[in-house]
Structure 1
Amino acid sequence: MDAASTRAALHLRDRLAHVYWIGGGSGAGKSTIAARVAHQYSLGRYATDDVMGEHARRSTPENTPYLRQFMAMDMDDRWVNRSPDTMLDTFHWYRGEAFGLIVEDLLALPADRGVIAEGFRLLPELVAPLLAEPRRAVWLLPTPEFRRAAFDSREGLWQIAGRTSDPERALRNLLERDRMFTERLDATVTSMRLPVIRVAPGTTEDDLAAQVAESLGL
């Protein structure tokens, strides 16, 4: 990185110094915990899941080739006809597409109030260069047992799978893809020595919120 790029990166870190980041695997409770911690500490909240549709519209084909491929598929091609490995490797958000739009959104928020950004799109390799200090971010990684229990209580995955010709196979593919994504996150945050909380059965919402607040230095 040359001197100009280094200065630009440091300037961006300074502009995002009011942001706390909560990433992690599906089913870990990121949205629930982010909302609780934001309310408790009078922080704003930016949910990356909520802006996926908007980001798809704002993105360009050149910057989001995997998103364009995904949008061109029907539901069976997305969730039934491909292996979980292929689904993992080609899923646009898992590849960090449109992450720059997340940064743009955060820069547009008032900098005089802290804000929690949360969602699975906050990949550690993309967030880490934006951190003034590592403790400004934490990744929640559910154990397989916790993740399964969380998914069993949700309707979202069945709503996706139910729009295919083989809902049971689609659901199995989705669950396996998300399991592998969580394992990949675990390996990345561990190798980068970033803060992580592993969420196991028996972890209460109160306990997890307290752990996240402590990890973030709130």
Structure 2
Amino acid sequence: MIFWIGGPAGAGKTTVSRLLAQRHGFVWYSVDAHAHDHEKRAAAAGLHVLGTGPGDFDRRPMILEDVQSLDASVVVEGAFVTPQMAGVAENAVWLMPSREAQLARLEARDPGGDHQGLVWGWGLVHSQLEGTGANVIVVDDQTVEETLLAVEQRFGPWLMK
């Protein structure tokens, strides 16, 4: 079984997905952590020019190949998890802060940092979700535990299998 958790930077994807995997004995897979490897694999296959960035090609086939090779239930998380990649079934959820909450979370994580690129990503994720029927959890003012509980509730039927 594959559980998908997407959302913009600062939404809590990594923290919540790691806790979900630990709590239920699943493997945790970070799309972002594999970005460089995917870029190298795409370049070797002639699909991509090495060094131009991991967002310039379709990573879905590599992500699915990686996850399927694990032969286990997996929690896949990352900003690159889109409705097109994961589908909008009960095993996929997106954590979405408001723009204000995202900026506050990013500032708390890196005071005084340049967060404009990450804030721009909020709009991209939001536009990918619009009109899809995707499962979205608004995470403003939620603790990590509250967000984890909300994800477990959304995945409830699948967690029992």
Q: TM-score range by the shorter chain?
A: 0.7 to 0.9
Q: Which has the larger radius of gyration?
A: 1
Which structure 2 residues correspond to residues 60-75 of structure 1 after superposition, within 5 A?
Answer: 60=43, 62-65=46-49, 68-70=51-53
Q: Unaligned 5+ residue runs, structure 1? A: 1-17, 71-91, 159-170
Structure 1 CA distance for aligned equivalents of residues 78 and 52 of structure 2: 22
Report the equivalent of 2:58: 97
The Cα shift of 1:176 comes to 3.1
The aligned counterpart of 2:75 is 116
Instruction: Name 1:137's counterpart in structure 2.
Output: 92
Note closer, same or farther for the CA distance 1:156–1:122 as it changes in structure 2 (3 Å cut). Answer: farther
- 8 A contact 2:21–2:74 mirrored in 1: yes
- 2:124 maps to amino acid: R
Q: Which structure has more helix as a fraction of its residues? A: 1
Q: Distance in 1 between matches of 2:39 and 2:78?
A: 16
The residue aligned with 1:146 is: 101
Equivalences for 1:14-29 in 2 at 5 Å?
A: 18-29=1-12
- Quote the offset at 1:197 in angstroms: 0.9
The question of whether the paired residues in 2 share the 8 Å contact of 1:96 and 1:126 is answered with no
1:181 to 121, 136, 143: 121
Q: Partner of 1:214 in structure 2?
A: 153
TM-score normalized by the length of structure 2: 0.84
Change (3 A) 1:96 1:143: farther
Displacement after TM superposition at 1:124 (Å): 1.5
**Do the aligned partners of 2:2 and 2:75 also contact (CA within 8 Å) in 1?**
yes
Structure 2 portions without partners, runs of 5+: none
TM-score norm. by structure 1 comes to 0.64
Deviation at 1:195, TM superposition (A): 0.6
Match of 1:87 in 2: none
Contact kept, 8 Å, 2:6 with 2:13, in 1: the verdict is yes
Contact 1:33 1:209 in 2 (8 A): yes
| Percentage of identical aligned residues | 24
Q: How does 1:18-57 map to 2 (within 5 A)?
A: 18-57=1-40
Relative to 1, partners in 2 of residues 1:105 and 1:149: Cα closer, same or farther, differing over 3 Å? same
Pair 1:191–1:96, CA change in 2 (3 A): farther
When residues 127 and 55 of structure 1 are mapped into structure 2, their CA distance, relative to the original with a 3 A threshold, is same
Kept in 2: contact 1:139–1:195 (CA 8 A): yes
The answer to whether residue 143 in structure 2 is matched with residue 190 in structure 1 is no
State how far apart, in whole Å, the 2-side matches of 1:97 and 1:178 are.
20
